[in-house]
Amino acid sequence: MNLAAGLRRLVLGPEEREIPNLKRNDRCWCGSGKKYKLCHQASDDRERSAQRAAAVKQKAGSLKRGF
């Protein structure tokens, strides 16, 4: 990591990785060779749920303030 990338990460925070849209029986994106449903599907579903909850909470907060 170079200095510019380090400062960018310090100021903006860590980059969010994009969760790929895979079907249950596709091979996992991590390269393990396992099917997605047995490898990372549960953790990706939890992450998507948390992202949706945060977006709803943020939207509710902005509506409450009148924006």
Q: Is the pTM of this model over 0.85?
A: no
CB of 35 closer than 8 Å to CB of 41: no
- In angstroms, the CA 32 to CA 65 distance is 46
CA 53 to chain centre: 12
Alpha helices of 2-66 — where are they, by DSSP H? Answer: 3-12, 36-39, 41-65
pLDDT at 20: 67
The tens digit of pLDDT for each residue in 11-66 reads 876 666 666 688 999 999 899 999 999 999 999 899 889 989 988 888 877 766 55
- In angstroms, the CA 30 to CA 50 distance is 21
pLDDT tier for residue 3 given thresholds of 50, 70 and 90: confident
